[in-house]
Protein backbone atom coordinates (compact mmCIF):
# COMPACT_ATOMS: atom_id res chain seq x y z
CA UNK A 1 0.00 0.00 0.00
CA UNK A 2 2.77 2.43 0.94
CA UNK A 3 4.53 1.77 -2.37
CA UNK A 4 1.46 2.88 -4.32
CA UNK A 5 0.55 5.84 -2.17
CA UNK A 6 4.00 7.40 -2.05
CA UNK A 7 3.87 9.34 1.19
CA UNK A 8 0.49 8.54 2.72
CA UNK A 9 -2.75 6.65 2.15
CA UNK A 10 -5.81 8.47 3.36
CA UNK A 11 -5.26 9.28 7.01
CA UNK A 12 -2.52 6.67 7.47
CA UNK A 13 0.88 8.33 7.86
CA UNK A 14 3.66 6.88 5.74
CA UNK A 15 5.89 4.70 7.94
CA UNK A 16 8.71 3.93 5.53
CA UNK A 17 7.46 0.46 4.57
CA UNK A 18 8.75 0.74 1.02
CA UNK A 19 11.70 -0.96 -0.68
CA UNK A 20 12.21 2.12 -2.83
CA UNK A 21 12.30 4.37 0.22
CA UNK A 22 14.85 2.14 1.95
CA UNK A 23 17.11 2.22 -1.12
CA UNK A 24 16.82 6.01 -1.22
CA UNK A 25 17.84 6.19 2.45
CA UNK A 26 20.98 4.14 1.76
CA UNK A 27 21.89 6.48 -1.10
CA UNK A 28 21.49 9.62 1.02
CA UNK A 29 23.41 8.00 3.90
CA UNK A 30 26.44 7.53 1.63
CA UNK A 31 26.04 11.04 0.19
CA UNK A 32 25.89 12.66 3.63
CA UNK A 33 28.67 10.52 5.10
CA UNK A 34 30.97 11.44 2.24
CA UNK A 35 30.19 15.13 2.51
CA UNK A 36 30.81 15.03 6.27
CA UNK A 37 34.39 13.92 5.60
CA UNK A 38 34.89 16.46 2.81
CA UNK A 39 33.52 19.42 4.78
CA UNK A 40 35.34 18.48 7.98
CA UNK A 41 38.70 18.53 6.18
CA UNK A 42 37.80 21.67 4.22
CA UNK A 43 36.48 23.41 7.35
CA UNK A 44 39.81 23.05 9.12
CA UNK A 45 41.82 23.91 6.00
CA UNK A 46 39.76 27.07 5.40
CA UNK A 47 39.35 27.82 9.13
CA UNK A 48 35.60 28.18 8.48
CA UNK A 49 33.10 27.88 11.32
CA UNK A 50 30.23 27.67 8.83
CA UNK A 51 31.82 24.71 7.01
CA UNK A 52 32.50 22.94 10.31
CA UNK A 53 28.90 23.51 11.40
CA UNK A 54 27.60 22.19 8.08
CA UNK A 55 29.89 19.15 8.34
CA UNK A 56 28.38 18.41 11.75
CA UNK A 57 24.96 18.68 10.14
CA UNK A 58 25.96 16.06 7.54
CA UNK A 59 27.08 13.73 10.33
CA UNK A 60 23.84 14.20 12.22
CA UNK A 61 21.84 13.56 9.06
CA UNK A 62 23.72 10.32 8.35
CA UNK A 63 22.89 9.11 11.87
CA UNK A 64 19.28 10.20 11.45
CA UNK A 65 18.84 8.30 8.18
CA UNK A 66 20.49 5.17 9.59
CA UNK A 67 18.32 5.27 12.72
CA UNK A 68 15.23 5.64 10.53
CA UNK A 69 16.24 2.58 8.52
CA UNK A 70 16.72 0.50 11.67
CA UNK A 71 13.25 1.23 13.10
CA UNK A 72 11.17 0.92 9.93
CA UNK A 73 8.44 -1.62 10.64
CA UNK A 74 8.83 -1.35 14.42
CA UNK A 75 5.90 -0.39 16.70
CA UNK A 76 4.97 3.31 16.73
CA UNK A 77 6.18 3.72 20.32
CA UNK A 78 9.69 2.57 19.40
CA UNK A 79 9.76 4.76 16.29
CA UNK A 80 8.56 7.75 18.31
CA UNK A 81 11.21 7.17 20.99
CA UNK A 82 13.96 7.05 18.34
CA UNK A 83 12.59 10.21 16.74
CA UNK A 84 12.55 11.90 20.15
CA UNK A 85 16.21 11.00 20.60
CA UNK A 86 16.99 12.42 17.17
CA UNK A 87 15.14 15.63 18.00
CA UNK A 88 17.03 16.07 21.26
CA UNK A 89 20.33 15.32 19.51
CA UNK A 90 19.65 18.03 16.96
CA UNK A 91 19.01 20.45 19.81
CA UNK A 92 22.32 19.49 21.42
CA UNK A 93 24.10 20.03 18.09
CA UNK A 94 22.51 23.47 17.80
CA UNK A 95 23.82 24.44 21.24
CA UNK A 96 27.28 23.12 20.37
CA UNK A 97 27.42 25.14 17.14
CA UNK A 98 26.24 28.27 18.97
CA UNK A 99 28.89 27.83 21.64
CA UNK A 100 31.65 27.20 19.10
CA UNK A 101 30.53 30.22 17.08
CA UNK A 102 30.63 32.49 20.12
CA UNK A 103 34.15 31.23 20.79
CA UNK A 104 35.09 31.98 17.16
CA UNK A 105 34.05 35.62 17.64
CA UNK A 106 37.10 36.09 19.85
CA UNK A 107 39.52 34.40 17.41
CA UNK A 108 41.09 36.76 14.89
CA UNK A 109 41.44 36.00 11.21
CA UNK A 110 39.02 35.44 8.35
CA UNK A 111 38.27 32.03 6.81
CA UNK A 112 39.48 31.15 3.32
CA UNK A 113 36.62 32.34 1.11
CA UNK A 114 37.44 30.35 -2.05
CA UNK A 115 37.41 27.00 -0.24
CA UNK A 116 34.14 27.93 1.47
CA UNK A 117 32.53 28.72 -1.87
CA UNK A 118 33.76 25.64 -3.71
CA UNK A 119 32.90 23.18 -0.94
CA UNK A 120 29.58 24.95 -0.43
CA UNK A 121 28.70 24.37 -4.09
CA UNK A 122 29.70 20.71 -3.84
CA UNK A 123 27.62 20.25 -0.69
CA UNK A 124 24.65 22.03 -2.27
CA UNK A 125 24.74 19.67 -5.26
CA UNK A 126 24.86 16.65 -2.93
CA UNK A 127 21.93 17.91 -0.88
CA UNK A 128 19.82 18.82 -3.90
CA UNK A 129 20.14 15.20 -5.03
CA UNK A 130 18.99 14.04 -1.58
CA UNK A 131 16.08 16.51 -1.56
CA UNK A 132 14.89 15.41 -5.00
CA UNK A 133 15.05 11.76 -3.94
CA UNK A 134 13.09 12.38 -0.72
CA UNK A 135 10.59 15.07 -1.73
CA UNK A 136 7.71 12.64 -2.33
CA UNK A 137 8.26 11.22 1.16
CA UNK A 138 8.18 14.50 3.12
CA UNK A 139 4.98 13.59 5.00
CA UNK A 140 4.73 10.73 7.46
CA UNK A 141 5.48 9.75 11.04
CA UNK A 142 8.09 11.54 13.16
CA UNK A 143 10.94 9.45 11.74
CA UNK A 144 9.98 10.22 8.15
CA UNK A 145 9.57 13.90 9.05
CA UNK A 146 13.05 13.98 10.61
CA UNK A 147 14.59 12.66 7.38
CA UNK A 148 12.88 15.28 5.23
CA UNK A 149 13.66 18.17 7.60
CA UNK A 150 17.34 17.24 7.73
CA UNK A 151 17.62 17.13 3.94
CA UNK A 152 15.76 20.41 3.47
CA UNK A 153 17.85 22.14 6.13
CA UNK A 154 21.05 20.93 4.49
CA UNK A 155 20.15 22.54 1.17
CA UNK A 156 19.28 25.82 2.90
CA UNK A 157 22.47 25.69 4.95
CA UNK A 158 24.63 25.11 1.88
CA UNK A 159 23.16 28.15 0.11
CA UNK A 160 23.99 30.13 3.26
CA UNK A 161 27.59 28.83 3.28
CA UNK A 162 28.06 29.89 -0.36
CA UNK A 163 26.70 33.35 0.46
CA UNK A 164 29.02 33.51 3.48
CA UNK A 165 32.02 32.63 1.33
CA UNK A 166 31.21 35.40 -1.14
CA UNK A 167 30.61 37.86 1.72
CA UNK A 168 33.89 36.97 3.44
CA UNK A 169 35.71 37.54 0.14
CA UNK A 170 33.93 40.88 -0.40
CA UNK A 171 34.32 42.24 3.12
CA UNK A 172 37.55 40.61 4.27
CA UNK A 173 36.00 39.95 7.69
CA UNK A 174 34.96 36.85 9.62
CA UNK A 175 31.46 38.09 10.46
CA UNK A 176 29.56 36.61 7.47
CA UNK A 177 30.98 33.18 8.39
CA UNK A 178 29.88 33.61 12.01
CA UNK A 179 26.40 34.83 11.04
CA UNK A 180 25.86 31.81 8.78
CA UNK A 181 26.97 29.47 11.56
CA UNK A 182 24.29 31.03 13.77
CA UNK A 183 21.71 30.51 11.00
CA UNK A 184 22.64 26.84 10.67
CA UNK A 185 22.38 26.43 14.44
CA UNK A 186 18.93 28.01 14.27
CA UNK A 187 17.86 25.50 11.62
CA UNK A 188 19.08 22.69 13.90
CA UNK A 189 17.02 24.00 16.80
CA UNK A 190 13.89 24.61 14.70
CA UNK A 191 13.96 21.05 13.36
CA UNK A 192 14.71 19.73 16.85
CA UNK A 193 11.56 21.36 18.22
CA UNK A 194 9.35 20.10 15.36
CA UNK A 195 10.63 16.51 15.52
CA UNK A 196 10.45 16.40 19.32
CA UNK A 197 6.87 17.70 19.39
CA UNK A 198 5.65 15.16 16.85
CA UNK A 199 7.47 12.31 18.59
CA UNK A 200 5.89 13.24 21.94
CA UNK A 201 2.43 13.34 20.31
CA UNK A 202 2.95 9.87 18.84
CA UNK A 203 4.13 8.49 22.19
CA UNK A 204 0.97 9.82 23.87
CA UNK A 205 -1.15 7.97 21.28
CA UNK A 206 0.15 4.62 22.62
Separation of alpha carbons 190 and 99, rounded Å: 17
Separation of alpha carbons 17 and 39, rounded Å: 32
Dump pLDDT digits (tens) for 30-41.
Answer: 998 998 999 899
The predicted structure's pLDDT at residue 2? 40
CATH architecture for segment(s) 16-204: Up-down Bundle (1.20)
pLDDT band at 8; cut points 50, 70, 90? very low
Q: Whole-prediction pTM value?
A: 0.69
Dump pLDDT digits (tens) for 42-68.
Answer: 888 887 777 787 788 788 788 888 888
The residue ranges of every structural domain in the chain are 16-204
Helix (H, G, I), strand (E, B) or coil at 194: helix
Phi, psi of 12 (to 5 degrees): -90, 120
Helix (H, G, I), strand (E, B) or coil at 80: helix
Closest CA to 164 of 56, 38, 52: 52
Amino acid sequence: MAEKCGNSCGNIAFEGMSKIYRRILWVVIFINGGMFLVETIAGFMADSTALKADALDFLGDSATYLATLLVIGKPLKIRAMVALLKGLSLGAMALFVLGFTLYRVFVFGSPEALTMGLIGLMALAANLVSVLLLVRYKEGDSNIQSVWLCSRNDAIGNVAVIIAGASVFATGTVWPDIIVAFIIAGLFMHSSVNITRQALREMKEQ
